[in-house]
Amino acid sequence: GENVEQHPSTLSVQEGDSAVIKCTYSDSASNYFPWYKQELGKRPQLIIDIRSNVGEKKDQRIAVTLNKTAKHFSLHITETQPEDSAVYFCAASERSSASKIIFGSGTRLSIRP
């Protein structure tokens, strides 16, 4: 089955700087890669997703890139703000099943004022 590795596990950046979180996946047939943001005690919320027919997607300060050959994808947050502090999870669909999304172990992002 699908296996998703995520790093770093913790990341601290100065407010206004950029943050990058990287993930790798094992199933070459995976075709859907969502990113979720989870604040302490809250539900995971989708912030951006990408499908395997594109290599990059951007939404304001957030962008995701996908390298299918290398089986890795990354989240980029520019001009970070205090409200970006949260745990971020990458995920990948498991194509052997019509239903599963496999999550990475999370990155705790802290924005220093």
Partner 1 sequence: GAGVSQSPRYKVAKRGQDVALRCDPISGHVSLFWYQQALGQGPEFLTYFQNEAQLDKSGLPSDRFFAERPEGSVSTLKIQRTQQEDSAVYLCASSLAGGGDETQYFGPGTRLLVL
**Position 44 contacts partner 1 (CB under 8 A):** yes
Instruction: With contacts defined by CB under 8 A, name the span among 26-34, 55-63, 66-74, 78-86 that binds partner 1.
Output: 26-34
User: Does 45 engage in binding with partner 1 (CB under 8 A)?
Assistant: yes
From CA 6, how far away is CA 70, in angstroms rounded?
A: 14
With the C-alpha atoms ordered 99, 84, 106, 48, is the resulting torsion angle positive or negative?
A: positive
Q: What is the C-alpha to C-alpha distance for residues 102 and 16, in angstroms, rounded to an integer? A: 31
Counting contacts by CB under 8 A, is residue 75 touching partner 1? no
Whole-angstrom distance, CA of residue 37 vs CA of residue 25:
19
> Residue 75 or 106: which CB sits closer to partner 1?
106
For partner 1, the binding residues (CB under 8 A) are: 6, 31-32, 34, 36, 42-46, 49, 51, 89, 91, 93-94, 97-106
